[in-house]
């Protein structure tokens, strides 16, 4: 009904654990095992959609375990499911997760492109490569993955994340459609035909933890259906959820539309990511990932911060089409909001508005905490206009967000002050 088909996330190594002793995609016994499983599944579920595979990723086995390519692994599965109308969705989240932090030559954002782009045209028709919107892992802000611009002879799917893994854990408010609008704008005319998302559904009574996070799920459905966002999507969800009171409508619309900027302003200066606690992915810990094996480094020292990913550095910008390469390659033409993703800059680097980099960091941390305070205040102004249970539960989330924002402000300002030794020119308190 409604065109919905079930798909299952499967383990590439299933034949090995099932007793065959290998999952080598070129082994005839492995091929027969998958063919038999497909026949069994379609005998029970005739409209089964296929399988989603995460292989050779984050310590999981895959084709590389047996010296095979990803196209060989994906095609083997596709040939088992294709006769029944099924597809193989192959996730491209593959990188070196055993990196030595001392090694400056390896640059994790380059990994997916290096792995898959040379295999363009080698994947079977029923294989779809699932590519995250950015080259890292759903950080607060990233450029569009260069792999989405490549591989014209391969079916690709844009992968988004509704779950706020690094964007507030559905404790802090973060409305995502403005980000999707930017992705769509930047991808044209390279936008894939397919789209998917890591959902934000959980065991909470309201499904999403934060009542207002339901707006992301609702808007994603519209985005997937239409291929673009609309300015009134937020209004549509607000009316369905809270009615048509004009005060409620205007207040919640404003809160949703500015929430991404608020969260970004206290967490991720100029696309500098990975400063969360590694265990919870929530709250500030700027060196939590700095000396680990995940390739998520800031390289902060007493003079500068960031990694030079230009053609003069790791060469990451060379993976983009020429027009974007030129745009990203220089700090003078790179969009300011992505500056520290692509460039290593000294703390006294002067931004177009005349502020130094370090002063921008200080200012935006203070502004972010004030923004979180304003979100709480705006929500409290709706008391009596919002159902009591939703008002109480959501107010608790905004209180926690304000506490989190203040912690981010103080921890990051202290972190960068200790490295740079440069005080806040406005004399505000930095611990």
Helices (H), 138-245: 177-187, 214-226, 233-242
What Cα–Cα distance (Å) separates residue 66 from each residue in 25, 63, 69, 322? 8, 6, 9, 36
Q: How far apart are CA 282 and CA 168, in angstroms?
A: 6
- Please, are residues 124 and 82 in contact by the beta-carbon 8 Å criterion? yes
40 given a catalytic annotation: no
Q: How far apart are CA 223 and CA 141, in angstroms?
A: 19
SS3 357: helix
Pick the catalytic residue from 58, 204, 232, 301. 58
Q: How far apart are CA 408 and CA 228, in angstroms?
A: 33
Structure tokens at 139: 């950080």
Nearest to 160 by CA among 172, 148, 173: 148
Output b/e per residue, 269-293; b: 16+ Cβ within 10 A: bbbbbbbbeeeebbbbbbebbeeee
Q: How far apart are CA 284 and CA 407, in angstroms?
A: 7
Token pair 């309201």 is found at 206
Nearest to 313 by CA among 95, 107, 137, 118: 107
SS3 284: strand
Q: How far apart are CA 356 and CA 77, in angstroms?
A: 53
396 given a catalytic annotation: no
- Cross-strand partners of 10: 53
Pick the catalytic residue from 137, 159, 211, 363. 137
182 given a catalytic annotation: no
Pick the catalytic residue from 11, 27, 165, 378. 165
User: Cα 202 to the chain's mean position, in Å?
Assistant: 18
- Which residue numbers are catalytic? 58, 137, 165
């Amino acid at each position: 009904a409604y065109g919905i088909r079930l798909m299952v996330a499967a383990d590439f190594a299933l034949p090995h654990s099932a007793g065959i002793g290998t999952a080598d995609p070129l082994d005839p016994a492995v091929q027969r095992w998958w063919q038999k499983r497909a026949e069994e599944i379609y005998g029970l579920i005739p409209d089964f959609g296929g399988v989603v595979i995460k292989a050779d990723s984050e310590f999981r086995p895959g084709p590389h375990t047996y010296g095979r390519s990803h196209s060989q692994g994906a095609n083997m599965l596709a040939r088992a499911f294709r006769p029944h109308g099924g597809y193989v969705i192959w996730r491209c989240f593959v990188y070196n997760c055993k990196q030595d932090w001392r090694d400056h030559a390896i640059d994790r954002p380059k990994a997916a492109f290096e792995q898959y782009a040379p295999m363009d045209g080698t994947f079977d028709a029923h294989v779809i490569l699932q590519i995250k919107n950015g080259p890292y892992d759903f950080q607060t802000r990233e450029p569009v993955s260069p792999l989405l611009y490549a591989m014209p002879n391969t079916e690709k799917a844009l992968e988004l994340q509704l779950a706020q893994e690094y964007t507030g854990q559905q404790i802090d408010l973060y409305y995502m459609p403005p980000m999707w609008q930017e992705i769509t704008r930047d991808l044209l005319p390279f936008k894939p035909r397919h789209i998917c998302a890591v959902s934000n559904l959980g065991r909470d009574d309201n499904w999403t933890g934060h009542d207002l996070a339901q707006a992301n799920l609702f808007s994603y459905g519209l985005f997937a259906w239409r291929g673009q966002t609309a300015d009134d999507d937020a209004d549509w969800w607000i009316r369905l959820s809270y009615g048509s009171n004009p005060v409620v409508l205007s207040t919640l619309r404003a809160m949703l539309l500015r929430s991404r900027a608020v969260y970004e302003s206290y967490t991720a200066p100029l696309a500098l990511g990975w400063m969360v606690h590694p265990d919870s992915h929530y709250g500030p810990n700027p060196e939590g990932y700095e000396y680990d094996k995940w390739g998520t480094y800031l390289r902060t020292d007493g003079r500068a911060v960031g990694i030079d990913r230009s053609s003069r550095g790791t060469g990451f910008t060379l993976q983009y089409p020429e027009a974007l390469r030129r745009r990203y390659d220089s700090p003078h033409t790179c969009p300011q909001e992505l500056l520290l993703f692509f460039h290593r800059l000294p703390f006294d680097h002067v931004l177009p508005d005349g502020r130094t980099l370090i002063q921008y960091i200080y200012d935006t941390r203070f502004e972010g905490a004030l923004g979180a305070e304003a979100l709480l205040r705006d929500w409290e102004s709706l008391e009596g206009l919002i159902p009591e249970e939703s008002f109480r539960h959501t107010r608790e989330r905004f209180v926690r967000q304000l506490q989190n924002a203040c912690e981010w402000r103080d921890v990051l300002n202290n972190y960068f002050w200790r490295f740079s030794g440069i005080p806040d020119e406005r004399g505000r308190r930095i611990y």
